[in-house]
């Protein structure tokens, strides 16, 4: 029986990097004798151009019929793209928020791993990364400040903007359970990040997380304030295993963690609901300045495809093959421009995809 995978090529470099991930998935299909069928879906700027909307009901319904969805990046240049002349709820990013909500993708997983081959690209001092690091940030994705009530009004003659940060205990509990389950398969440590010294939402977050922790006695739980966590990520990233946090904090911390790996072009991500369904995408943006130049790094998207095989399709061996192929290509000295260093072989987007596919 065919496995239907949704493909959102997206905007900017999105089509280029998705094509390379598909090339790698096709290699997996040949090796394992599985039948992948692809359903092309519209989202973001490409959807605006085709339909006038960043997300349509058709895309949502088609996505629900897929085993999983692999996505490139969406959006464009906010200064020059006509998409950003539209109201906020009609812009590309509104489509991304909308599909997360429509598919109940409440759990965002962002690994951050330092390859030995890329230690020279890491901006941190060598003594801070001598032993490498391997963490995953588990971010709540459908609640909090980004989904709370917001409005702008004039109060006493002054323009006043209000954004509401709201969490209930059920939203906190389900993402905490996900973090502890992941920690059980790793090094059995969860660092829950909040701002409990200031925010009521964080105090509830901390209380519910402690309740969940009682069901996982083999996992160590520690609490850390978000400002301290931001500092620790650049002082001692090796201390972290699973970082659990709310939507806005996770958005910021995962981007910070990504840059400690040497390039955001290396980082995959997954957004999961309560079933095996997930939407998989690179952590980076659409990079419109290099779109069409065949120089973007496709590895984050390729590794996102590996996460898809692992979390949604129960193809752990195939996922391991992809990760091993990436490691092998890096060990052989091949680099796209963003991770290039002297003595390596510079390759294009399409060449990197082919190299990885050949080693599956």
**pLDDT tens-digit series, residues 149-191:** 999 999 999 999 999 999 999 999 999 999 999 999 899 999 9
Whether residue 169 contacts residue 208, with contact meaning beta carbons closer than 8 Å, is answered with yes
In the structure encoding, which two tokens stand for residue 163, read together?
């954004």
Q: Under CATH, which number does the domain 1-115+263-360 receive? A: 3.40.718.10
| Mean pLDDT value across residues 34-60 | 97
| Mean pLDDT value across residues 269-283 | 93
pLDDT at 263 over 80: no
Question: In whole angstroms, what is the distance from residue 309 CA to residue 303 CA?
Answer: 10
Q: Is domain 123-260 annotated with CATH 3.50.50.60? A: no
**1-115+263-360 with 123-260: one CATH topology?**
yes
pLDDT at 258 over 90: no
Question: In whole angstroms, what is the distance from residue 346 CA to residue 140 CA?
Answer: 37
Strand 189-194, strand 220-225: pairing: parallel
Whether residue 90 contacts residue 97, with contact meaning beta carbons closer than 8 Å, is answered with no
User: Of 32, 113, 255, 328, which is the active-site residue?
Assistant: 255
User: Of 227, 314, 316, 320, which is the active-site residue?
Assistant: 227
Whether residue 79 contacts residue 100, with contact meaning beta carbons closer than 8 Å, is answered with no
| Mean pLDDT value across residues 261-282 | 89
| Mean pLDDT value across residues 243-264 | 89
Residue 69's CB is within 10 A of a number of other CB atoms, namely 28
CA dihedral 326, 295, 51, 101 (to 10 degrees): 40
**pLDDT tens-digit series, residues 9-19:** 999 999 999 99
Which sequence spans correspond to the domains of the chain? 1-115+263-360, 123-260
| Mean pLDDT value across residues 232-245 | 95
**pLDDT tens-digit series, residues 78-134:** 899 999 999 989 999 999 989 998 999 999 999 998 887 887 777 788 877 777 889
User: Of 11, 194, 251, 338, which is the active-site residue?
Assistant: 251
Classified as helix, coil or strand, 225 is strand
Instruction: Check if 116 is active-site.
Output: no
Whether residue 10 contacts residue 59, with contact meaning beta carbons closer than 8 Å, is answered with no
User: Of 32, 113, 146, 340, which is the active-site residue?
Assistant: 146
| Mean pLDDT value across residues 274-282 | 93
Whether residue 36 contacts residue 5, with contact meaning beta carbons closer than 8 Å, is answered with yes
Question: In whole angstroms, what is the distance from residue 348 CA to residue 10 CA?
Answer: 20
In the structure encoding, which two tokens stand for residue 117, read together?
């081959």
Confidence at residue 283, expressed as pLDDT on a 0 to 100 scale: 86
Instruction: Check if 321 is active-site.
Output: no
The dihedral built from the CA positions of residue 241, 244, 247 and 252, taken in this order, carries a sign that is negative
**pLDDT tens-digit series, residues 215-227:** 999 999 999 999 9
Instruction: Check if 101 is active-site.
Output: no
Instruction: Check if 214 is active-site.
Output: no
Instruction: Check if 195 is active-site.
Output: yes
Question: In whole angstroms, what is the distance from residue 236 CA to residue 124 CA?
Answer: 10
Helix/strand/coil percent split, the chain, to 5: 45, 20, 35
């Amino acid at each position: 029986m065919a496995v239907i995978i949704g493909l959102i090529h997206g905007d900017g470099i999105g089509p280029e990097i998705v094509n390379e991930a598909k090339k790698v998935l096709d290699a997996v299909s040949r090796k394992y004798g599985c039948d992948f069928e692809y359903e092309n879906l519209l989202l973001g700027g490409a959807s605006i151009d085709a339909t006038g909307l960043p997300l349509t009901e058709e895309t949502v319904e088609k996505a629900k019929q897929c085993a999983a969805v692999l996505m490139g990046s969406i959006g464009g240049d906010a200064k020059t793209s006509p998409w950003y002349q539209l109201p906020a709820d009609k812009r590309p990013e509104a489509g991304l928020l909308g599909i997360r909500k429509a598919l109940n993708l409440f759990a965002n997983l962002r690994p951050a791993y330092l390859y030995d081959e890329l230690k020279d690209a890491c901006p941190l001092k060598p003594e801070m990364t001598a032993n490498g690091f391997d963490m995953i940030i588990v971010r709540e994705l459908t609640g909090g400040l980004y989904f709370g009530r917001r409005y702008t009004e004039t109060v006493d003659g002054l323009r006043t903007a209000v954004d509401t940060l709201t969490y209930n205990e059920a939203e906190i509990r389900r993402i905490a359970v996900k973090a502890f389950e992941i920690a059980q398969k790793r090094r059995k440590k969860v660092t829950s990040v909040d701002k409990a010294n200031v925010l009521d939402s964080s105090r509830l977050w901390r209380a519910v997380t402690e309740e969940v922790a009682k069901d996982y006695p083999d996992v160590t739980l520690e609490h850390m304030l978000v400002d301290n966590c931001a500092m620790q990520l650049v002082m001692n990233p090796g201390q972290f295993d699973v970082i659990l946090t709310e939507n806005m904090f996770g958005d910021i911390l995962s981007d910070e963690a990504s840059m400690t790996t040497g390039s955001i072009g290396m980082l995959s991500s997954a957004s999961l609901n309560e079933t095996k369904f997930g939407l998989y995408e690179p952590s980076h943006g659409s990079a419109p300045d290099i779109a069409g130049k065949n120089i973007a790094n496709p590895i984050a998207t390729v590794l996102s495809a590996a996460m898809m095989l692992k979390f949604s399709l129960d193809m752990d061996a195939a996922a391991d093959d992809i990760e091993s192929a990436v490691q092998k290509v890096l060990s052989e000295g091949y680099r796209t421009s963003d991770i290039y260093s002297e003595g390596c072989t510079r390759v294009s987007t399409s060449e990197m995809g082919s190299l990885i596919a050949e080693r599956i």
